[in-house]
Structure 1
Amino acid sequence: MINEKFHYGTVYVIDRRKTESEITEDFQKIAEVGMDMVVIWPPVFYWETPGGKEHSFKTGDLIMKLGEKLGVKIIVEIMGQVPQMEYLPDWATKDEFRVYNRGKREQYYNFNHPGVKELMNFHIKQCVEHYKNFPALYGYDIWNETAFESYDKYTVELFRQWLKEKYHENISELNDAWERTYTEWSQVKNENEHWASTKVEVDWHMFRMRNIADLLVEWKAEVRKYDEAHVVIADNVLSMISNHTRDRGTDDWKVAGSVDKYGISFYPKSGGRILDEEGPWLNSETLTEANNASKNKGFWISEMQSRHYSAVFVEDSISKEELRFWCMEGVSHGAQTIIYWKWRPFTKGVQVGGRGLFSLEGKETERSNMVKDIADIINKNSDLFMNSRPYKTPACVLYDPENVEFIKCSFAEIKKYKDSLYNDSIHGLYKTLYENNIPADFIRPEDIKAGGLKNYKVLFMTFQFALDNEVSKKIKEFVAAGGKVVADGKTGVINTWQVANKQLPGGEALNEIFNCHEVDLRGGDSEFQIEKNGDIITSYLEPGVKIKTIYEQQIVDVVNGSKVLARFSDGSPAVIKGKYHSGEAIYITTALWLAYYYKGQKEIVSLLKGIGKYLNLNIIEFEKESLAARLISGKEGNVLFLFNYEDRKITSKVKVCADKKNYKVIDLVSGHDVKSSYEKDRVVINFEIQPKNVLLLHLKEEK
């Protein structure tokens, strides 16, 4: 593999109107602004050959030679979202190659069709064999923005094989789960019907995620037939948590595990075109998920937003300061490469006039000038950033893709609520953690089964409607051994066979840790009141303050002498704290984090602040004014990122968790020393930060 450094670059899109002189001029400017990497698309140029029926690489050869001359590494994007310019030119297309997806948007052809597989493998062979010996080549992006769904016969047969493996080749097991009466596997298909059991549809969407990962494994193996040296990359749009529609069918963890480098297309500002909500907290959630999907090995921002969407949609137009924020947010969450989408704006198509760092004429913009400033920071500190990872957090949040599907199926025909309640509840929880500067990883059910909770002290669960029995047992063991769990309403209502649990919350395997039993449910909005009890969890709230809730109120009986910290107006417990062996659980009998996401009551932030204080979750604390902050750690010390999103200068004091006294603090931008002191287990730093700016402080251990 290639020696690693922090790469910084742009996607360069070539169309048939690009001239050699224009390409040469652009690449000279790319190098001048401090970039060292370019992703080229398309990978082949059919228009260069008579009749357009052969893979041609004349323009690609020019770019490879320019890259070698200028010290710019090249990634060949083998497959994006325009098949006719890649693996399936129009002259080779057949109707049978198309996906069958019940009227949804067709973006790709059917990758499971034998004919398409043959064409894809030929395309990979042609590209890899041609480019592999160029010194400038870094690697191949084999699937940009993964997404696929088809109900054709080839895909359905793969679905059957997946089901056979899942249900141990036992048709009776499948019938039990699906409430069907099959006698042969050949009878099984996607029924698009879930009244008797939502497991039918849940399994289909879980299979889709596996299918995409399997295709990546297949294509990577095809690359390796011809090139064993260069990196193979794939990427998704944002994350499966923030961009949680079913359109894509992507599991970020599975994608990351199928290739050498995992990346995301990072578009923090959509002007309402993609995301319901935007902001630094959602950026943090997206980037945290990307780092967790990469197993903390570092991820790529394969496409960084550079400009508004198109000439006709400019509500997502961006400032130079936003570019700096987004790049530094990426670095502070574990990004190891940042690639902008793209160099110049689109000259044709639905996004004409959109995206691009430079103008259509190739002239500088305020964003391109900021790009050079960011390059200076990244290039100066490449080794430091590459050898650092997000500081180890004691807290994790359970994220369960299967629970996503159970919720979507369960709410498919309920108009009052969206089918995204689980993801929205995750958003509410993460946003509340973020606003308290409490970092938290995402942990998956398979990680918990493998013993992953041993790396954490606290597990958060929210709207965890479906709980796997084995996962429940592992959580119970975690708490018994001294771990802490914080959960809210709808925990463990069913198991993952969609069978209702009788003991709630938590189900039979987990109910004991919560020290309460559900006796009834009450729907709709409500409110609860903080008890006067002197508990640290409620210490940031005045006794008697009322917190508004939505969706439901669980009526529970409290057992084992557990402490009730808040009650609903009818006297029933709202927040319960109780022991279980060496650990404890805090249970909230309503969908609290969902309420925060939808309603935004700041008292909920204060309640979590108390929970964080009680569980010792803060690794960064402020006196006076608080800012968004992130900490990365490596062999050269820690780097503290302070983000001032406001239009005013801020002066404050920050205390950063540190296990040693002898830290020297250096401003990474100015190179100046920053005064600091040491109190208990914290480095204390007084700082001043300018409006709309980021402060990067290197906490370097002195020998």
Structure 2
Amino acid sequence: MPHLNDTTRGRLLFGGDYNPEQWPEETWHEDIRLMKDAGVNSVTLGVFSWSKLEPEPGAREFGWLDTLMDLMHASGIGVVLATPTASPPPWLGRLHPETLPRDADGHVEHWGGRQHFSHSSAVYRRHAAEITEALAARYGGHPALTMWHINNEYCTFDHGDEAAARFRVWLRRRYGTLDALNTAWGTAFWSQGYDTWDGVIPPRRAHYLRNPTQVLDFRRFTSDMLLECYAAERDIVRRHTPDIPVTSNFMPLWIGQDAWRWAEEEDVVSVDLYPDPRDPLGAQRGALVQDLTRSQARGPWMLMEQAAGPVNWRGVNHPKPRGLNRLWSLQAVARGADAVCYFQWRQSRQGAEKFHSGMVSHAGEQGRTFQEVKRIGADLHRLAEVTGTHLAADVAILHDWHAWWAGDQEARPSQRVDLEDVLHAWHRALWEAHLTTDFAHPEHDLSGYRMVVVPQLYLLTDAAIENLLGFVRAGGTLVCGFLTGVADEDDRIRPGGMDARLRELFGIRVLHEWWPLDADESAECDGFRGTLWSEEIEAADDVTETVPYQGGELDGLPALLRRDRAWYLSTLPEPDALRALLARIAADAGVRPVLDGLPAAVEAVRRGELLFVLNHGREPVTVPVPGRHHDLLTGTTVTDEVRLDRYGVAVLRP
């Protein structure tokens, strides 16, 4: 199987989406001049070009793309060639309305935007296969081709009739019989029992609450249908070019795809990443996505899209302050990226994204944005030796999309509990403690980690539970957050409100009640304040340590308890308290930061032999780095300390 290394060939990829069809041909030559000036060595072509390539059914207009492919090759710029299937041409929806998706209310999503396709439509799939086949046959042997990019940001839901028919097929494969489906879905509740497969439909709008396991299975089904679309196009291009790697770009921590399963089907794992430049935790949010993507890739990964400046889809779209684009780009490299790319190369003058930044902004080559892009290109050239190297982490954070889907439904104890927010809170605590983390699926091999943390996994399979028990038995340290191990894979509440094996592991005799907290509430504990959630727990006699609630209905009951190397937090401590707690537990488990004595705003990551030191603050800092080092970015030698300007970066080789 080809890999990202087959494309990078000892260099970091740098470039982005290029949409030359939006510009006259004379602009193409100007673009190539600027690309070479900026050190661009990779562009993605064709992402939204279906109507240009096939302006009417069966037509093929490849002349413009032939010219671009040849120009790129002559200029030494590799092409990531995209299949254009994320945005079908208007004629497909007009002639074949069954290809258009329907929402849960039955409303049709028409052409005029993008992603207007039904993943279940046989007609859509046939036309997508035909244009993909034509592209692969024409360009499979072109010397500019370095990678295939299938579709773009798969994110389509469909509740229409063809999706309903495929949903029934999917369910029959999963359950085999209606009796098994009725049992799994708990249809004895509210007289929902099915007597025929034809009666089973997607979770469309209902008078009141919908069946939660039906909703859970529909999310599973949707992820699988989109994956089928991806795999069909991937298999076509692989048949023509078995040595060219294939990818499709994830959206960051998006709820709609089981990204663990998807990553197994990709040669290159890539992601789009757009932290808000005004968010004081933007760097941590970026680090979380980078850690997750690296873990899905099990090594180097591709930053397929980021913004060189402002985006266009927030309520207020702020530009990146001077230096922040460079800092966040190098942060991605520090955390495993072998490619740093953007949406898009040249900022559009028309269309829905004309206010979304490009590497070349409306200000042109004299603008600050392009000048900063040139500096980043030069930096990446200096860091070529990092390509293909890995990070080592002693801590893993567990995350599972099925648990997210099951927990993110109607009729929960608290709508304030959002798994994404909880995940960020725990990752932030470890990031601010300067601890590098991987992510892992709860059924993955955890033996390589000293410490595993579970911010929240409402749904856990029996295999996952046994995996956690085995990790602790083998000497690992486990830290779990509230509302974990509550349900099985059918979203059926486990007896006792938490799996009995986990209650035994943590030293919980009885979990009496869940006590969610309102926005203006907190739970006072001995030494810290809990937020969001609390639980009425009775501890076993042999627990090793407890921290009690103080005051209120839960006075004296354990907010935190530990049995040997297994910790359970029945609330979410405030940020400083959670950071201090996890840092203490990590130290006891033998986990140490890469550098000691780091200022709060400084991040240090070791990738291979190189030490990345990044200042996320707006003030200069001096960072202790014992010994002599060569800074690859400046070419200078530093001894025992390095000074970083605001948003400054040093990359040190011993």
* Same-fold status (TM-score > 0.5): yes
In structure 1, give the amino acid aligned to 2:505. Answer: I
TM-score normalized by structure 2? 0.89
Q: Is 1:516–2:508 an aligned residue pair?
A: yes
1:626–1:108 Cα change, 3 Å: same
Tell me, yes or no, if the aligned pair for 1:232 and 1:260 is still in contact at 8 Å.
Answer: yes
Counterpart Cα distance in 1 of 2:571 and 2:485: 13
Structure 1 residues 15 and 688: alpha-carbon distance in aligned structure 2, compared to 1, 3 A threshold: same
State whether residues 304 and 339 of structure 1, in contact with CA within 8 Å, keep that contact through their aligned partners in structure 2.
yes
Contact 1:236-1:264 at 8 Å conserved across structures: yes
Equivalent position of 2:415 in the other structure: 417
Measured at CA, do residues 287 and 546 of structure 1 come closer, stay the same or move farther in structure 2, by a change above 3 Å?
Answer: closer
Residues 69-117 of structure 1, C-alpha deviations (whole Å, 9 max, x = no match): 2110112222264321xxx645873222211223575632123222212
Q: Which position in structure 1 is the counterpart of 2:374?
A: 372
Q: CA distance change for structure 1 residues 170 and 697 in 2, over 3 Å: closer, same or farther?
A: same
Q: Partners in 2 of 1:668 and 1:71 — Cα distance?
A: 25
User: Using a 3 Å threshold, how does the CA distance of structure 1 residues 310 and 468 change in structure 2: closer, same or farther?
Assistant: closer
How far residue 44 of structure 1 moved from its aligned partner, in angstroms, is 5.1
The Cα offsets for residues 125-168 of structure 1, whole Å up to 9 and x where unpaired, read as 2222222232112132111111121123332233223323332x
Counterpart in the other structure of 1:606: 580
Q: Output the amino acid matched with 1:639.
A: L
* Deviation of 1:270 (Å): 7.1
**Cα-to-partner distance string for 1:534-592 (whole Å, 9 max, x where unaligned):** xxxxxxxxxxx44243332323223214222444332222222222xxxx211222233
Q: How does 1:516-555 map to 2 (within 5 A)?
A: 516-521=508-513, 522-524=515-517, 525-530=521-526, 545-555=527-537
Query: Aligned residue for 1:255?
Result: 262
* One-letter code aligned to 1:306: A
Instruction: Give the match for residue 405 of structure 2.
Output: 405
Secondary structure in 1 aligned to 2:468? helix
Q: Which of 8, 19, 23 in structure 2 is aligned with 1:13?
A: 19
CA shift digits 1:1-43 (9 cap, x unpaired): 5453321112211235x22221111112101211111112357
Deviation at 1:664, TM superposition (A): 5.7
Alignment partners' CA distance in 1, 2:127 and 2:592: 53
**Are 2:334 and 1:332 aligned?**
yes
Q: Summarize the Cα distance change of 1:578–1:509 in structure 2 as closer, same or farther, 3 Å threshold.
A: closer
Matched, 1:293 2:296: yes
The answer to whether the 8 Å contact 1:319/1:367 transfers is no
Q: 1:499 to 1:312 in 2, by over 3 A?
A: closer
Q: CA deviation at 1:201?
A: 0.8
Q: Distance in 1 between matches of 2:52 and 2:283?
A: 43
Asked if residue 156 in structure 1 is aligned to residue 164 in structure 2, the reply is yes
Counterpart for residue 689 of structure 1: 644
Within the candidate set 634, 652, 674, 2:623 is matched to: 652
Match of 1:640 among 608, 611, 614: 611
State the partner residue of 1:458.
451
- Aligned to 1:409, the other structure's residue is in SS state coil
CA contact (8 A) 1:45 1:59 kept: no
Q: How many Å apart are 1:311 and its aligned residue? A: 11
Question: What is the CA–CA distance in structure 2 between the aligned matches of 1:199 and 1:91, rounded to whole Å?
Answer: 32
Which runs of no fewer than 5 residues in structure 1 stay unpaired? 531-544, 656-662, 676-684
**1:361 deviation in Å?**
6.6
Query: What SS class does the counterpart of residue 320 from structure 2 fall into?
Result: coil
Structure 1 residues 239 and 127: alpha-carbon distance in aligned structure 2, compared to 1, 3 A threshold: same
Do the aligned residues in 1 keep the contact of 2:310 with 2:320 (CA within 8 Å)? yes
* Helix, strand or coil at the partner of 2:151: strand
Gaps of 5+ in 2: 188-192
Deviations 1:520-539 (A, max 9, x none): 23443343443xxxxxxxxx
Distance of 1:189 and 1:28 partners within structure 2: 55
Preserved CA contact (<8 Å) 1:398 1:460: yes
Aligned 1:211-290 pairs, distance under 5 A: 211-240=225-254, 244=255, 249-269=256-276, 278-290=281-293
Task: Tell me if structure 2 keeps the 8 A contact 1:9–1:340.
Answer: yes
**Cα deviation digits, residues 290-313 of structure 1 (max 9, x gap):** 1112122x2111112122234997
Work out which structure has the larger RCO, using CA pairs closer than 8 Å and 6 or more positions apart in sequence: 2
Q: Post-superposition shift, 1:46?
A: 5.5
Q: Which residue of 1 aligns with 2:344?
A: 342
Change in 2 beyond 3 A, CA 1:697/1:501: same
Does residue 436 in structure 1 map to residue 413 in structure 2?
no
Pairwise CA distance, 1:328 = 0.7
Q: Provide the C-alpha distance between the structure 2 equivalents of 1:325 and 1:316, rounded to a whole number of angstroms.
A: 17
* Letter of the 1:387 counterpart: G
The amino acid across from 2:538 in the alignment is V
Amino acid at match of 1:78: T
After TM superposition, give the deviation of residue 66 of structure 1 in Å. Answer: 1.4
Kept in 2, the 8 Å contact 1:344–1:359? The answer is yes
Matching residue of 2:394: 394
Match of 1:453, SS? coil
Does the CA-based 8 Å contact 2:129-2:232 persist in structure 1?
Answer: no
Q: Is the 8 A contact 2:203 2:210 kept in 1?
A: no
Distance in 2 between residues matched to 1:42 and 1:207, nearest whole Å: 25
Identity %: 18
- Whether the 8 Å contact between 1:516 and 1:557 is mirrored in structure 2 is yes
CA contact (8 A) 2:403 2:459 kept: yes
Instruction: Specify the alignment match of 1:71 in structure 2.
Output: 76
Aligned counterpart for 2:569 among listed residues 588, 591, 600: 588
Q: 1:91 to 1:482 in 2, by over 3 A?
A: closer
Q: After TM superposition, give the deviation of residue 463 of structure 1 in Å.
A: 2.9
Question: Secondary structure of the equivalent of 2:538?
Answer: strand
Question: What's the offset of the Cα at 1:339?
Answer: 1.4
Partner of 2:186: 179
| 8 Å CA contact 2:49, 2:84 repeated in 1 | no
Q: How many residues align?
A: 628
TM normalised by structure 1 equals 0.83
CA root-mean-square deviation: 2.8
Q: Does the CA-based 8 Å contact 1:171-1:184 persist in structure 2?
A: yes
Q: Match for residue 190 of structure 2?
A: none
Say if 2:479 and 2:566, in contact at 8 Å, map to a contact too.
Answer: yes
Distance 2:123 2:549 in 1: 63
Aligned to 1:321: 323
**Which stretch has the larger CA shift, 284-293 or 371-380?**
371-380
Return closer, same or farther for 1:293/1:559 CA change in 2, 3 Å cut-off.
Answer: same
Q: SS of the counterpart of 1:587? A: strand
Q: What amino acid does structure 2 have at the position aligned with 1:568?
A: Q
Aligned residue identity for 2:229: L
2:14, 2:340 within 8 Å by CA — same for their partners in 1? Answer: yes
Mapped to 2, the partners of 1:151 and 1:395 lie a distance apart of 40
Question: Structure 1 residues 120, 48: closer, same or farther in 2, change over 3 A?
Answer: closer
Q: 2:118 aligns with which of 110, 121, 129?
A: 110
Q: C-alpha offsets along residues 443-476 of structure 1, whole Å, 9 cap, x if unaligned?
A: 11342xxxx1112122211232222122112211
- Name the residue aligned to 1:468: 461
Aligned to 1:142: 150
Whole-angstrom CA distance in 2 between matches of 1:446 and 1:205: 20
